[in-house]
Structure 1
Amino acid sequence: MILRPMQADEFPAYRQIVIAEYGRDLAESRRCSLEDALSRATTLIDQALTQGVNSPPQRLLCITATEGAEPPVGYLWISVSENIAWIYDIYLLPEWRGKGYGKQALDVINQQLALEGITETGLRVAANNSRAKKLYESLGFVLTGYNMSKRL
Structure 2
Amino acid sequence: MHDPVRALREHIAFNKPGKGEALFSHTIRSSRRPLTLRAFTVRIRALAAEFNFGTPSGHSLRIGSLLCYALNGFSLADCMVKGRWHSQSSFQLYLRKHADVLQPHLVVLPHVWDDIQRAMMQSQAQVVPQSTASSAEPAHAARRDLSHAR
- Common topology (TM > 0.5): no
Higher-Rg structure is: 2
Q: Point out the structure with the larger helix share.
A: 2
Q: Point out the structure with the larger strand share.
A: 1
Higher relative contact order structure (alpha carbons within 8 Å, sequence separation ≥ 6): 1
Give the alignment's TM-score, normalised by structure 1: 0.28
Give the alignment's TM-score, normalised by structure 2: 0.28
